[in-house]
């Protein structure tokens, strides 16, 4: 078809430029991956446990994380798990860095909201395999196209929930800020973002969960990690291999989820102690 | 301390809600009624030709029922709502014509506002709420906190500096709202039904807090309320708003004694008249009675009755502003005036002329 032809032309002309443009992502991803895989496992484990503690402040979650990681190591899935964690970390970082500003723009402009909402709808409902095609055409197989595919899939919740969080800030509180002479930036920084933060954190949580889900699909285009053995298991009908790696994904999903949710809850501390 | 020195003058202010309000102003000026505007153009007349001078350093109450436009009116003074036409003059400047940055400065330096539903910042502690106005003016943290602590203490919230609004009762939250506004140290204090959400006892309590503070602060306070008792208790002057129009303005006594129409009459019927009317209004001029009681001319009837019954006499002499004798009142007349509206009452000239 003509469109396909045109797109192929575009790929030939600009593919390399785009690849160079996205190269820093590859460097970042490889750096984190190497760091996690090459460092002694005990240090990595301690680091992850500390991170979980800082987020959740719950010994239960920390203990659960350590046990899960021990089991993952015992069953020989450590390296794949680290690749996946590196991948999810980078994708989440990119999604947050891009998503929050987009969410802010949507919250401040109804027109932006009207334009971006259908795009998000499309990104979320389009079968994820479909947009692997153009990504692979431009970037070929590898890590970067994987990251791009995962970010496209995982970014809508953070955008939507940032938008929602800011729009949900009570009108009377905003009016008070206005009455005291706040500028637009001051309102955003001092009132809207702090009050939207718990909702934004729910978006970060969703984004992490969706990145994890997408990692398996992205393994089809050469992303390393727990997705590859799962793919292999599907192709060869290795039930045990599939289940083990599947469970490893579940385990890190639960670790991420509990940590970020607990953190989001702590952000709402001011709402908890209600006058009786 | 910013003591108020400038009146706020509202002139020919119109607000018509709807996309095409500006085009309808002339029709409203020419006499098109609120109902007609609603029916024919689907626009709502919020304010209709408001003219009001709010005296510097006094408490101006704007009273009206819900939908009368009183909250719309107060929001024109700091332009939280854009007027359709008219002017709001303060210190030689028309607030309506200000640029966005001038307006921001005006709000920061000259006004502070207290809201019906408190509108505190839930994520900030009492102290952080109170410093808000200074924070956005980039006053140093130390100075801001010092000033905030002083006002937190003045409104009686010592020890609650680090609490979150959610941890406080409604009355305490509104004290925070008051402290937040006072810390701004502005000439104009806008209070939008500030005490309406509070229990009656706490409301009265807050009214005394406000009157005590005003005694020394002498700010220009615009106080919105739907409660006539509150209006009479607080207002140096009262304007009554209905359907976006001011239907009467004056002192509380003038409004109680001479309601402009049936609507206001129905309002003032249940008022504690003895708490509003002064002896000057009911005295017989020139006469002198044989009685040990002598009262200043601005004594309230309740207090006069108490003074007379206290020494078991039936009359009292009244003295003018200069302390000289001006007339007498009788206990019978005092009590009669307190309990029922009397259409044949004789007004002394200075009240009816005021």
- Which H or E run includes B247? strand B245-250
Nearest chain B alpha carbon to A195: B123
Q: Same structural domain for residues B280 and B259? A: no
CB pairs under 8 A between A and B: 76
pLDDT, tens digit (0-9, with 9 covering 90-100), for A57-107: 889 999 999 999 999 999 999 999 999 999 999 999 999 999 999 999 999
pLDDT, tens digit (0-9, with 9 covering 90-100), for A198-249: 999 999 999 999 999 888 888 888 888 898 898 889 889 999 999 999 999 9
What b/e sequence results for A98-113 when a residue is b if at least 16 CB atoms lie within 10 Å of its CB, and e otherwise?
A: ebbebbbbbbeeeeee
**pLDDT for position A275:** 59
- B290 lies in some domain: yes
**What is the three-class DSSP state of B343?**
coil
- B115 lies in some domain: yes
Closest approach of chain A CAs to the CA of B131, in angstroms?
A: 11
Contact A181 B107 (CB under 8 A): yes
Contact A271 B108 (CB under 8 A): no
- B308 lies in some domain: yes
**pLDDT for position A199:** 92
Residues of B in contact with A198 (CB under 8 A): none
Closest approach of chain A CAs to the CA of B57, in angstroms?
A: 20
- B173 lies in some domain: yes
Q: Best residue in B136, B163, B179 to probe A by mutation, most A CBs within 10 Å? A: B136
Q: Same structural domain for residues B151 and B288? A: no
Nearest chain B alpha carbon to A271: B166
Alpha helices in A126-220 (DSSP H): 128-139, 143-167, 171-179, 184-187, 193-218
Q: Same structural domain for residues B158 and B259? A: yes
- B321 lies in some domain: yes
Q: Name the domain boundary from B248, B268, B288.
A: B268
Is any Cβ of chain A less than 8 angstroms from the Cβ of B167? yes
Q: Same structural domain for residues B119 and B209? A: yes
> Which two structure tokens, joined as six digits, stand for B159?
């020890």
**pLDDT for position B67:** 85
Nearest chain A alpha carbon to B172: A275
**Long-range contact pairs involving B147-151 (C-beta distance under 8 Å, separation at least 24):** B147/B183, B147/B185, B148/B179, B148/B183, B151/B179, B151/B182, B151/B183
- B38 lies in some domain: no
Partners of B295 in the β-ladder: B318
Of A176, A194, A275, the CB nearest to B115: A176
> Which two structure tokens, joined as six digits, stand for A242?
């599939």
**What is the three-class DSSP state of B327?**
strand
Q: Same structural domain for residues B255 and B333? A: no
> Which two structure tokens, joined as six digits, stand for B156?
């009686």
**pLDDT for position B352:** 45
Partners of B14 in the β-ladder: B85
Give CA A274 to chain center in angstroms.
33
Q: Name the domain boundary from B224, B245, B268.
A: B268
Task: With CA atoms as reference, report the closest residue to B275 among B244, B229, B321.
Answer: B229
Domain region containing B294: 274-353
Residues of B in contact with A186 (CB under 8 A): 136
**pLDDT for position B340:** 64
Q: Same structural domain for residues B148 and B178? A: yes
Q: What is the ipTM of this complex?
A: 0.82
Of B108, B121, B164, the CB nearest to A191: B121
**The pLDDT of residue A269 is above 80:** no
Contact A183 B136 (CB under 8 A): yes
> How many domains does one find in chain B?
2
**pLDDT for position B354:** 40
For the domain that residue B246 is a member of, what is the CATH number? 3.40.50.300
Closest approach of chain B CAs to the CA of A274, in angstroms?
A: 5
Cβ atoms of B148 and B134 within 8 Å: the answer is yes
Q: Same structural domain for residues B208 and B232? A: yes
Rounding to the nearest 10 degrees, give the CA dihedral for residues A197, A199, A204, A205.
130
Q: Name the domain boundary from B268, B294, B326.
A: B268
Q: Which residue reads 């978006």 in tokens?
A: A203
**pLDDT for position B270:** 79
Percent of chain A with pLDDT over 70: 97
- Which H or E run includes A31? helix A23-38
Contact B80 A175 (CB under 8 A): yes
Q: Same structural domain for residues B185 and B314? A: no
User: In sequence order, what E strands does chain A have?
Assistant: none
Contact B137 A175 (CB under 8 A): no
Percent composition of chain A: helix, strand, coil (DSSP 3-state, to 5): 90, 0, 10
* Chain A interface with B: residues with Cβ < 8 Å: 170, 172-173, 175-183, 186, 190-191, 194-195, 270-275
Q: Which residues, given as ranges, of chain B have pLDDT below 50?
A: 342, 344-346, 348-349, 351-354
Contact A275 B168 (CB under 8 A): yes
C-alpha A171/C-alpha B177 separation (Å) is: 16
Q: At what angle do helices A143-167 and A193-218 cross, to 10 degrees?
A: 150
Neighbouring residues of A166: CB distance < 8 A, sequence distance ≥ 6: A103, A104, A107, A108, A188, A192, A193, A196
Nearest chain A alpha carbon to B106: A181
C-alpha A89/C-alpha A259 separation (Å) is: 14
Cβ atoms of A165 and A195 within 8 Å: the answer is yes
Give CA B236 to chain center in angstroms.
7
Residues of B in contact with A172 (CB under 8 A): 115, 117, 119
pLDDT, tens digit (0-9, with 9 covering 90-100), for A100-159: 999 999 999 999 999 999 999 998 888 888 878 888 888 888 888 889 989 999 999 999
Closest approach of chain B CAs to the CA of A170, in angstroms?
A: 9
- B14 lies in some domain: no
Residues of B in contact with A180 (CB under 8 A): 107-108, 112-113, 132-133, 136, 184
C-alpha A144/C-alpha A211 separation (Å) is: 14
Q: Same structural domain for residues B136 and B213? A: yes
Rounding to the nearest 10 degrees, give the CA dihedral for residues A119, A125, A128, A131.
-30
**pLDDT for position A80:** 93
Domains of chain A with bracketed CATH: 2-269 (1.10.3720.10)
Q: Which residue reads 């006094």 in tokens?
A: B58
**pLDDT for position B115:** 95
Q: Which residue reads 């984004």 in tokens?
A: A207
Contact B113 A180 (CB under 8 A): yes
Distances B93 to B97, B101, B106, B220, B280 between C-alpha atoms, Å: 8, 14, 10, 17, 39
> Which two structure tokens, joined as six digits, stand for A179?
């009455």
Phi and psi (nearest 5°) for B8?
Answer: -105, 125
**pLDDT for position B344:** 46
C-alpha B219/C-alpha B221 separation (Å) is: 6
Q: Same structural domain for residues B253 and B314? A: no
Cβ atoms of B55 and B236 within 8 Å: the answer is yes
Closest approach of chain A CAs to the CA of B236, in angstroms?
A: 25
Q: Same structural domain for residues B219 and B346? A: no
Residues of B in contact with A194 (CB under 8 A): 123
Contact B113 A179 (CB under 8 A): yes
Residues 75-134 of B with CB under 8 A from A: 78, 80, 104-109, 111-113, 115, 117, 119-124, 132-133
Of B124, B136, B167, the CB nearest to A182: B136
For the domain that residue B318 is a member of, what is the CATH number? 3.10.580.10
Distances A143 to A53, B28, B91, B263 between C-alpha atoms, Å: 30, 68, 66, 77
- B21 lies in some domain: no
Contact B108 A180 (CB under 8 A): yes
Q: Same structural domain for residues B261 and B327? A: no
């Amino acid at each position: 078809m003509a469109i396909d032809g045109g797109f192929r032309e575009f790929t030939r002309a600009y593919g390399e430029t785009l690849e160079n443009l996205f190269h820093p992502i590859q460097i970042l991803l490889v750096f984190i991956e190497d760091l996690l895989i090459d460092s002694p496992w005990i240090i990595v484990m301690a680091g992850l446990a500390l991170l979980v503690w800082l987020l959740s402040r719950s010994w239960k979650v920390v203990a659960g994380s350590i046990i899960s990681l021990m089991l993952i190591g015992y069953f020989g899935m450590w390296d794949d798990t680290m690749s996946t964690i590196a991948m999810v970390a980078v994708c989440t970082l990119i999604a947050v860095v891009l998503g929050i500003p987009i969410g802010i723009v949507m919250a401040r402009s109804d027109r932006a909201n009207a334009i971006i909402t259908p795009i998000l709808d499309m990104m979320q409902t389009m079968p994820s395999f479909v947009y692997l095609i153009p990504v692979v055409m431009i970037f070929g197989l590898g890590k970067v196209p994987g990251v791009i595919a995962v970010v496209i899939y995982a970014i809508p919740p953070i955008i939507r929930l940032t938008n929602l969080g800011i729009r949900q800030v009570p009108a009377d509180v905003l009016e008070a800020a206005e009455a005291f002479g706040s500028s637009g930036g001051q309102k955003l920084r001092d009132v809207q973002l702090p009050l939207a933060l718990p909702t934004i954190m729910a978006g970060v949580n969703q984004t992490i969960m969706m990145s994890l889900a997408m990692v398996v699909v992205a393994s089809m285009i050469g992303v390393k990690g727990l997705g590859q053995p799962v793919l292999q298991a599907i192709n060869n009908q290795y039930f045990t291999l599939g289940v083990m790696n599947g469970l490893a994904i579940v385990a890190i999903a639960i670790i991420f989820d509990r940590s970020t949710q607990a953190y989001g809850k702590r952000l709402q501390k001011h709402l908890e102690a209600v006058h009786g | 301390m910013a003591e108020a020195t400038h009146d706020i003058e509202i002139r020919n202010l119109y607000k018509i809600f709807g996309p095409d309000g500006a085009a309808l102003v002339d029709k409203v000026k020419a006499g098109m009624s609120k109902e007609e505007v609603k029916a024919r153009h689907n626009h709502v007349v919020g304010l209709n030709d408001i003219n009001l001078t709010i005296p510097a350093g006094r408490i101006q109450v704007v009273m009206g029922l819900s939908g009368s436009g009183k909250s719309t009116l107060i929001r024109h003074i700091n332009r939280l709502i854009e007027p359709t036409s008219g002017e709001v003059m303060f210190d030689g400047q028309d607030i309506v014509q200000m640029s966005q940055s001038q307006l921001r400065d005006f709000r920061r330096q000259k006004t502070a506002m207290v809201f019906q539903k408190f509108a505190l910042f839930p994520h900030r502690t009492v102290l952080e709420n109170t410093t808000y106005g200074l924070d956005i003016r980039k006053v140093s943290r130390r100075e801001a906190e010092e000033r905030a602590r002083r006002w937190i203490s003045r409104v009686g919230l010592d020890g609650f500096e680090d609490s979150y609004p959610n941890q406080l009762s409604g009355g305490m939250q509104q004290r925070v709202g008051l402290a937040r506004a006072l810390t701004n140290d502005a000439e104009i204090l806008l209070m939008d039904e500030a005490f309406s959400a509070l229990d009656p006892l706490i409301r009265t309590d807050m009214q005394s807090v406000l009157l005590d503070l005003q005694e020394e602060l002498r700010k220009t306070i615009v106080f919105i309320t739907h409660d006539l008792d509150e209006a009479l208790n607080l207002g140096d002057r009262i304007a009554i708003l209905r359907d976006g129009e001011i239907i009467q303005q004056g002192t509380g006594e003038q409004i109680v004694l001479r309601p402009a129409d049936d609507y206001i009459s129905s309002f003032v019927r249940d008022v504690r008249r003895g708490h509003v009317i002064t002896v000057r209004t009911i005295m017989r001029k020139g006469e002198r009675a044989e009685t040990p009681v002598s009262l200043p001319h601005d004594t309230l009837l309740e207090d006069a009755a108490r003074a007379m019954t206290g020494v078991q006499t039936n009359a009292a002499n009244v003295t003018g502003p200069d302390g000289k004798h001006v007339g007498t009142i009788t206990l019978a007349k005092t009590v009669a005036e307190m309990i029922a509206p009397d259409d044949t009452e004789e007004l002394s000239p200075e009240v009816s002329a005021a």
